[in-house]
Amino acid sequence: MNQRAQAAELLRRVEAGGAYANVLLRDADAGLRSDVYGVLRWQGELDASLSVAVSRPLERLQKEVLAVLRVGAYELLRTDVRASAVVSECVDAIRQMGAPKASGLVNAVLRKVAEADGPEMEVARAGAFPDWLVEDLTAAWGPEEVEAFLLASNTAARPGVRVRPGEPGDGERLEGIPDARLIGRPGDGLTFQDPASVAVVQALDVPAGAKVLDLAAAPGGKTQHLLDLVGPGGRVTALERHARRARTGARRVPDARWVIADGRHPPFTGGFDRVLLDAPCSGLGTLRRRPEIRHRIRAGDVDRLAGLQSELLEAAMGLVAPGGRLVYSVCTITPSETTDVVDGRGFEAPSGLPGRAAGDGWLLAPHLAETDGMFIAAFDA
């Protein structure tokens, strides 16, 4: 298969099979990554252009045909690839995907897109961000900041790494997150972690020798960070509800004590010096890396998750020893999952981080500090 056919097939798997693009593209070359991420990020603009050029509703097209057309439209509207090469490669792609009868349609539609001016659209529509999300964020932040967030969320993220003890601190530093770096490209022997995730554990202010609970631990990135901080005299207990994820986490971070249990009903009586609740969430702060989330998450999903987060937080607050600290974090930016969850519970924003205050917590985001979207709030018992 040529690159356009490969991209179309991966897009079909993301849309129809629920696959995650970042997983499918882990070992892909730059061109293939650009096509897949580009379509997912700008699908609203691409579909608007295709709708003008196609005589039938897009949803009535074969899935393979629509995927190839979206790849072609992305390259025509958002890259410098020659139009003739785009059209020719996409015609070959639909043949390679087993639909040769559609080659004439692909040829005609993409030629029309190439000849027409691209539509002028606001970023929310061009990026196919859901209306409910834009409305919720606009009410909380105002339209200018929302547009800045959406634009930043539609750009590629530079790899982030955490500098572990004894490792060289190569890469670009981020003010306020001393152990985080941004690097130009992945390399071997590095601990890949977005700076926002590094900031979560930093906010917990873990002393050496502490007794720490990671209340929703898998896949274990923050668990390892906690272990690095407590040292040989401390202990990290990692709780995970799902057995398969717990086993994966235990293989990744074997020095933690892994417990399979529901965080809403933890099998502990409390007494932890530090408790981290990095709660399950919609993940909408990770749109730079997982652009397909916008096409999957519904407002009802957020409401359900907010209820779960509130229950987990209620349980977590009872596990902190006097004088200890609890941090609540979510890699999302919806008010329902962030400020609303901690409101009125005695939380405060951690100090020293990049970003801005948000209710009783702190917001990091790609338009504020070149990090994933992350909400962090701290409670001192």
Please state, in angstroms and rounded to a whole number, the distance separating the CA atoms of residues 43 and 14: 13
| Virtual torsion, Cα 309, 311, 314, 316, nearest 10 deg | -70
Strand, helix or coil for residue 220: coil
Question: Tokens 């998750």 identify what position?
Answer: 305
Please state, in angstroms and rounded to a whole number, the distance separating the CA atoms of residues 13 and 15: 6
The tokens describing 170, both together, are: 């190569």
Say which amino acid occupies 97: M
CA max distance for the chain: 72
Q: Which residues are annotated as catalytic?
A: 331
Beta strand extents in 116-176 (DSSP E only): 160-162, 172-174
Which contacts qualify for 354-357: CB closer than 8 Å, 24 or more apart? 354/174, 354/175, 354/176, 354/177
The tokens describing 341, both together, are: 């969850």
Cα distances from 75 to residues 14, 55, 126, 359, in angstroms, run: 19, 21, 15, 41
